Amino acid sequence: MVESLHRPTRIIVHNEAIRQNIKHEIERMPQGRELFAVVKANGYGHGAVATAKAAISGGAAGFCVATVDEGIELREAGFTEPIVILGVVEVADLSLVAEWQLAFPVASRQWLQKARAYLAEISVAAPLAVHLKVDSGMGRIGFRSKQEVLAALAEIDAEAQMNFEGIFTHFATADEADTAYYDEQNHRFNEILQALPRMPRYVHVSNSATALWHDQPVGNMIRFGVALYGLNPSGHALAESYPLIPALELVSRLVQVKYLEAGEGIGYGETYITEQGEWIGTVPIGYADGWIRKMQGFKVLVAGQFCEIVGRVCMDQIMIRLPKEFAEGTPVTLIGKNGGQEITLQDVADQQETIHYEAACLLSSRIPREYTD
Ligand SMILES: Cc1ncc(COP(=O)(O)O)c(C=O)c1O
Cβ < 6 A, ligand 1 pocket: 38, 86, 170, 207-209, 223-226, 233
Output the CA 207–ligand 1 centroid distance in Å. Answer: 5
Output the CA 57–ligand 1 centroid distance in Å. Answer: 21
Helical packing angle, 180-195 and 146-157, nearest 10°: 40
Output the CA 225–ligand 1 centroid distance in Å. Answer: 6
Note whether 218 and 205 are within 8 A (CB).
yes
What CA–CA distances, in Å, run from 227 to 107, 156, 220, 272? 26, 34, 19, 38
Backbone φ and ψ for 339, nearest 5 degrees, come out as: 55, 40
Output the CA 109–ligand 1 centroid distance in Å. Answer: 24
Looking at the CA of residue 175, tell me the nearest atom of ligand 1: 10
User: How confident is the model over 319-329, as a mean pLDDT?
Assistant: 98
Write the Ramachandran bin of 87: left for phi over 0, alpha for psi from -120 to 50, otherwise beta.
Answer: beta
**What integer pLDDT is reported at residue 221 of this predicted model?**
98
Kindly name the residue from 133, 181, 202, 268 that is annotated as catalytic.
268
Looking at the CA of residue 211, tell me the nearest atom of ligand 1: 11
Backbone φ and ψ for 150, nearest 5 degrees, come out as: -65, -40
Band of pLDDT at residue 84, cut at 50, 70 and 90: very high
Band of pLDDT at residue 273, cut at 50, 70 and 90: very high
**What integer pLDDT is reported at residue 354 of this predicted model?**
98
Mutate to test the pocket of ligand 1, among 38, 46, 132 (most ligand atoms within 8 A of CB): 38
Alpha-carbon gap, residue 372 to 19, rounded angstroms? 12
Alpha-carbon gap, residue 296 to 289, rounded angstroms? 14
Note whether 341 and 306 are within 8 A (CB).
yes
Output the CA 139–ligand 1 centroid distance in Å. Answer: 15
Alpha helices in 120-201 (DSSP H): 146-157, 180-195
Note whether 329 and 321 are within 8 A (CB).
no
**What integer pLDDT is reported at residue 217 of this predicted model?**
81
Please name the residue whose Cα sits nearest to atom 14 of ligand 1: 225
Please name the residue whose Cα sits nearest to atom 5 of ligand 1: 207
Band of pLDDT at residue 215, cut at 50, 70 and 90: confident
User: How confident is the model over 339-346, as a mean pLDDT?
Assistant: 98
Residue 366: strand, helix, or coil:
coil
Looking at the CA of residue 170, tell me the nearest atom of ligand 1: 1
Which pLDDT tens digit goes with each residue over 22-36?
A: 999 999 999 999 999
Alpha-carbon gap, residue 67 to 96, rounded angstroms? 12
Residue 214: strand, helix, or coil:
coil
One-letter amino acid of 109: R
Quick one: which of 139, 142, 75, 160 has its CA closest to 105?
142
Mutate to test the pocket of ligand 1, among 18, 134, 167, 170 (most ligand atoms within 8 A of CB): 170
Alpha-carbon gap, residue 213 to 211, rounded angstroms? 6
Alpha-carbon gap, residue 109 to 115, rounded angstroms? 10
Backbone φ and ψ for 326, nearest 5 degrees, come out as: -125, 150
User: How confident is the model over 92-108, as a mean pLDDT?
Assistant: 97
* Residues above pLDDT 70, as percent of the chain: 100
- Paired sense of beta strands 34-38 and 221-224, if any: parallel
Band of pLDDT at residue 249, cut at 50, 70 and 90: very high
What CA–CA distances, in Å, run from 158 to 87, 143, 155, 162, 192? 23, 19, 5, 9, 20
Output the CA 35–ligand 1 centroid distance in Å. Answer: 13
User: How confident is the model over 250-262, as a mean pLDDT?
Assistant: 98
**What integer pLDDT is reported at residue 372 of this predicted model?**
97
Looking at the CA of residue 86, tell me the nearest atom of ligand 1: 1
Output the CA 52–ligand 1 centroid distance in Å. Answer: 15
| Residues facing 283 on adjacent strands | 318
pLDDT exceeds cutoff 80 at 216: no
Kindly name the residue from 23, 40, 287, 294 that is annotated as catalytic.
40
Which pLDDT tens digit goes with each residue over 25-76?
A: 999 999 999 999 999 999 999 999 999 999 999 999 999 999 999 999 999 9
Backbone φ and ψ for 35, nearest 5 degrees, come out as: -105, 120
Alpha-carbon gap, residue 368 to 308, rounded angstroms? 24
Quick one: which of 349, 338, 309 has its CA closest to 44?
349
Note whether 134 and 145 are within 8 A (CB).
no
Quick one: which of 334, 361, 365, 352 has its CA closest to 45?
361
- Please provide the average confidence, as pLDDT, over all residues in the chain: 97
Is residue 114 part of the annotated active site? The answer reads: no
Give rounded-to-5 percent helix, strand, coil for the chain: 30, 25, 40
Quick one: which of 4, 12, 6 has its CA closest to 337?
12
Please name the residue whose Cα sits nearest to atom 16 of ligand 1: 86
Is residue 268 part of the annotated active site? The answer reads: yes
Note whether 15 and 54 are within 8 A (CB).
yes
**What integer pLDDT is reported at residue 234 of this predicted model?**
98
